[in-house]
Amino acid sequence: MLAFAGAIEPLRLANQVAGKPLYSWRLAGEGGTEAICSNGVAFRLDMGLEEIEREDTVFVCGGLDVAEATTRGVLNWLRREARRGATIGGLCTGSWSVAKAGLLDGKRATIHWENQDSFLEEFEQVKLTKSVFVIDGNRITTAGGTATIDLMLKLIAADHGEDLANTVADQLIYNTIRTDQDAQRLSIPTRIGVRHPKLSQVIQMMEANIEEPISPADLAEDVGMSTRQLERLFRRYLNRSPKRYYMELRLQKARNLLMQTDMSVINVALACGFASPSHFSKCYRAHYSTTPYRERGSHGSHPAAVQRLSI
Report the pLDDT value the prediction gives residue 186, as an integer from 0 to 100: 59
Average pLDDT of the segment spanning 168-192: 80
How many Å apart are CA 146 and CA 174, to the nearest integer?
10
What angle do helix axes 292-300 and 242-260 make, rounded to 10 degrees?
Answer: 40
Report the pLDDT value the prediction gives residue 188, as an integer from 0 to 100: 72
Contact partners, residue 221, CB within 8 Å, separation at least 6: none
The bridge status of strand 133-136 relative to strand 139-142 is antiparallel
How many Å apart are CA 22 and CA 33, to the nearest integer?
26
Report the pLDDT value the prediction gives residue 73, as an integer from 0 to 100: 96
Are the C-beta atoms of residues 172 and 9 closer than 8 Å to each other? Answer: yes
Q: What angle do CA 1, 91, 50 make, to 5 degrees?
A: 95
Per-residue pLDDT of 236-268, as tens digits, reads 999 999 999 999 999 999 998 888 788 899 999
Report the pLDDT value the prediction gives residue 262, as an integer from 0 to 100: 81
How many Å apart are CA 311 and CA 85, to the nearest integer?
16
How many Å apart are CA 282 and CA 299, to the nearest integer?
20
How many Å apart are CA 151 and CA 169, to the nearest integer?
12
SS percent in the chain: helix, strand, coil, step 5: 50, 10, 40
Q: How far is CA 6 from CA 23, 146, 148, 149, 302, in A?
A: 15, 6, 5, 5, 28
Provide the pLDDT confidence category of residue 111 given band limits of 50, 70 and 90. Answer: very high
How many Å apart are CA 38 and CA 31, to the nearest integer?
18
Radius of gyration of the chain (CA): 22
Are the C-beta atoms of residues 141 and 104 closer than 8 Å to each other? Answer: yes
Q: How far is CA 88 from CA 24, 50, 111, in A?
A: 16, 15, 14
Average pLDDT of the segment spanning 116-123: 90
Are the C-beta atoms of residues 67 and 94 closer than 8 Å to each other? Answer: no
DSSP annotation of 113: G
What average pLDDT does the chain have? Answer: 90
Asked whether the whole model's pTM tops 0.75, one would answer no
H/E element holding 206? helix 197-208
Report the pLDDT value the prediction gives residue 187, as an integer from 0 to 100: 63
How many Å apart are CA 74 and CA 236, to the nearest integer?
51
CA-based nearest residue to 6, from 127, 130, 185, 156: 156
Provide the pLDDT confidence category of residue 13 given band limits of 50, 70 and 90. Answer: very high
How many Å apart are CA 99 and CA 139, to the nearest integer?
10
Per-residue pLDDT of 46-97, as tens digits, reads 999 999 998 999 999 998 889 888 999 999 999 999 999 999 999 999 999 9
- pLDDT over 70 percentage in the chain: 93
